[in-house]
Amino acid sequence: MAASANRWDDHGESVVQRPLLDRRVLRSWPWLVGLVVLGAVAGAAVQQARPSTYVSTVRIDLAPGDLLAPSSTGDRQVATELLYLTGPEVARAVQAQAPGAALDAAQVGLSNVVQVSVSTDSEQEAVRGAEALLAAYTERLGAEASGRVESLQNELSQITSQLSQLPATPRTQEEELVRAGLQGQYDALLNSLGQARVQAAGPTAVALDQPADNVGERSPSLPRGGALGALLGCLLALAVIAFRRRTWRVEDVDDVVRLGERPLGPQVPGVSGAWVSALPGRASQDPVESAARLVAGRLLANKEPGRPVVLQSVDDAAAGSVVAVNVATALARETPTVLLCAADAYERRVARWFAVPDAAYGLADLKGEESARSIDGLVQPTAVEGLYLLPAGSRSARQVERAEDAVCSPDLLSRFAAAGWRVVVDAPPICDSAVVNRMAGSAPVVAVVATVGRTPVDLLHRGLSELRSAGLAVEGVVVSAPAPVEEPAVPGTARG
């Protein structure tokens, strides 16, 4: 079945495309509401704990007399003054009187006026900081004016010296031109010097306000703190929801359908208690029995006899083994069935459930001489009529490799098929083994087991893609409840 919910990434592999609002996101509203409320309460509490802020504001006219006129000092000069008023020199002067104070400066409209603010937790410190700012700025303006007067005086002295060295009466036209040029420079410098002296004697900037006369208190805003806290809580909740969507796990059969795959029946219910002991006499109306029979029927519908049935979990070996045992039991009700316990080569699980000793002859012990043994000599009987096990075999350093080689052996599978037996393979999880990929030549009937609440949808999709890329025709997905805590072994059902 085509995976209609997929798209292709830059590497040519299909990936799951989740809807923006799925039921998981909609069910996450308690996270959203809870974190929004918590954020609002925390934001309001933080604002409540903050002290009031006092702001002393001073307006400075950079060109007295032109308050309402367009700025005559030019945008660049205004920008330069703003940088100085908020620069390190003024900041050091303000910090000396108001430690921790914050500075802010801005031009008032298009005028020559700038507004400077000093903010701190104390009203007295805010006033002292603003006074220190005015003093530092006034001192800088005075130093600049005095420096300009001194510079012009030096230039004027140099021009005067050059003029005194020229003859009183020019003898040539060239001398007359030089004297005229120097005289022009002298007159211009003399005029500039006069203006500079006037500016130095008078104010070049005027404070329109006194720091103590324009002090305001800014109290913490509880609504503002609550709104900011609620916004932060909302963002945090959305981040949590987004993270949870990245770990989207299978919850029911509908998730398989949304993935574009075929579910092999309803969810297989969980087993509990002595469920293995109850297998021999379990009624057909039992939920697990009926679900297993439905899975078995759909797997083998219109299939050639003799094809092995492979059940492979994505990442939960225990749940895969539970499904394999139940499906094998359902098949054994009508046809002798052998369960190849390939997953037990990694961890002995099915063998313990049926009290099969670890040293019992099994998959890892097959070395080509199985043809000399009868089928009854290869398998272990169980309490379920018609159900037999071929365990993992004796433990060794190469038990996994040998067991998987035996499962992939066409000779072994053909012997069971020739005897009219059904073969069910409890394969290791996709994330642990590629044994099912190696069985492609035997045309197995493959079903993938996904565990509710444990199997990530992304991992399920990648596992299905991997099996299909190996040439396997995956019949569908079995959705199963998690496996229970392991029960004691069934006594008296196996031979050593």
Same domain, 67 and 187: yes
Is residue 238, in this structure, part of any structural domain at all? yes
Same domain, 214 and 278: no
The Cα 102–Cα 96 span in angstroms is 12
Nearest to 210 by CA among 146, 131, 310: 131
Among all chains, which residue has been given the structure tokens 């005559």? 72
CATH code, domain with 370 = 3.40.50.300
Same domain, 192 and 57: yes
pLDDT of 494: 52
Percent of the chain with pLDDT over 90: 22
pLDDT, average across residues 267-284: 90
Radius of gyration of the chain (CA): 45
Contact 129, 93 (CB under 8 A): no
Using DSSP's 3-state secondary structure scheme, residue 476 falls into strand
pLDDT, average across residues 205-217: 76
Same domain, 65 and 26: no
For the ranges 11-20, 138-147, 335-344, 479-488, which has the lowest average pLDDT?
11-20
For the ranges 14-18, 118-122, 170-174, 371-375, which has the lowest average pLDDT?
14-18
The Cα 1–Cα 475 span in angstroms is 9
The Cα 342–Cα 335 span in angstroms is 21
Same domain, 32 and 123: no
Same domain, 320 and 359: yes
Banded pLDDT at 9 (limits 50, 70, 90) = very low
The Cα 310–Cα 294 span in angstroms is 16
Same domain, 44 and 72: no
Same domain, 172 and 271: no
Banded pLDDT at 95 (limits 50, 70, 90) = confident
Question: What backbone phi and psi angles, to 5 degrees, belong to 450?
Answer: -115, 130
Q: What angle do CA 17, 23, 26 make, to 5 degrees?
A: 115
Same domain, 330 and 473: yes
The Cα 185–Cα 168 span in angstroms is 18
Is residue 10, in this structure, part of any structural domain at all? no
Is residue 8, in this structure, part of any structural domain at all? no
pLDDT digits 0-9 by tens, 439-485: 888 889 999 999 998 898 888 988 999 999 888 989 999 999 998 76
pLDDT of 22: 58
pLDDT of 366: 83
Run of H or E including 388 = strand 387-390
Examine the pLDDT at 2 and tell me if it is beyond 70.
no
The crossing angle, in degrees rounded to 10, of helices 88-97 and 75-85 is 40
Same domain, 403 and 284: yes
CATH code, domain with 102 = 3.30.70.1130
Is residue 260, in this structure, part of any structural domain at all? yes
Question: What backbone phi and psi angles, to 5 degrees, belong to 182?
Answer: -65, -35
What residues make up the domain containing 134?
Answer: 53-218
Is residue 288, in this structure, part of any structural domain at all? yes
Whether this model's pTM surpasses 0.95: no
The crossing angle, in degrees rounded to 10, of helices 123-164 and 173-201 is 160
Banded pLDDT at 246 (limits 50, 70, 90) = low
Same domain, 40 and 151: no
